[in-house]
Amino acid sequence: MAKLIYASNVSLDGCTEDERGAFDWSTPDDDVFAFTTGLLRPVDTYLYGRRMYDAMAVWETDGALAAQSDLTSNFAKVWQAADKVVYSTTLAAAPTANTRLERHFDPGAVLDMKATARSDLIVGGPNLAAQAIAAGLVDECHLFIWPVVLGGSKPALPTNMRVDLELLDERRFSNGVVYLCYRPA
């Protein structure tokens, strides 16, 4: 069975965005960018909430972004090749290829995806990830901890439940970012 992986950029105080709803504080340097692309390369399917999908769709809809460097071009190719499932009650149509809309998160359907997937799946966005974690579907958490304190905006992890974790991997980057990979214990 494929794994469902929650991947997120996180401030030191556990947030995914600042008080304006922005995440420009997590712009990766070349090392973090290449590492992230390597993690995502084997993934076949991304599960996104509406806001995370909107943020990531630029990797297909904005050709200038991919043209900035070999690193951004590689990331764009990896992102575009994967299937995307967007959970939204308001999005009328998806502007990217290989994308389907679902109106509601269905844990049973995600379990079926895991059972039939050719490779691992990524869940992106803290609200959707919280639903997947609560349903016991997340097999690993890949967290990029950034050296910034945002002051308690949107939490990266559920705040209403306990999940004991086992550390699988870690890496420290020269820009102060620390990558931590956990699985539920």
Give the tens place of pLDDT for each residue, 100-148.
Answer: 999 999 999 999 999 999 999 999 999 999 999 999 999 999 999 999 9
Give the tens place of pLDDT for each residue, 59-105.
Answer: 999 999 999 999 999 999 999 999 999 999 999 999 999 999 999 99
pTM of the predicted model as reported, rounded to 2 decimal places? 0.95
How many residues are there in the chain? Answer: 185
Which residues have a Cβ under 8 Å from the Cβ of 104 and sit 6 or more positions away? 87, 89
Interatomic CA distance for residues 91 and 139, integer angstroms: 28
Handedness of CA 168, 76, 45, 156 (dihedral sign): positive
Give yes or no for residue 152 having a pLDDT over 80.
no
Give yes or no for residue 19 having a pLDDT over 80.
yes
**Mean pLDDT (whole number) for 143-162:** 93
Q: Please report the pLDDT score of residue 126 as a whole number.
A: 95
**Mean pLDDT (whole number) for 22-39:** 95
Name the band, by pLDDT with cuts 50, 70 and 90, for residue 153.
confident
Interatomic CA distance for residues 84 and 81, integer angstroms: 9
Q: Please report the pLDDT score of residue 136 as a whole number.
A: 97
Percent of the chain surpassing pLDDT 90: 95
Superfamily assignment of 4-179 in CATH?
Dihydrofolate Reductase, subunit A (3.40.430.10)
Q: Please report the pLDDT score of residue 118 as a whole number.
A: 94
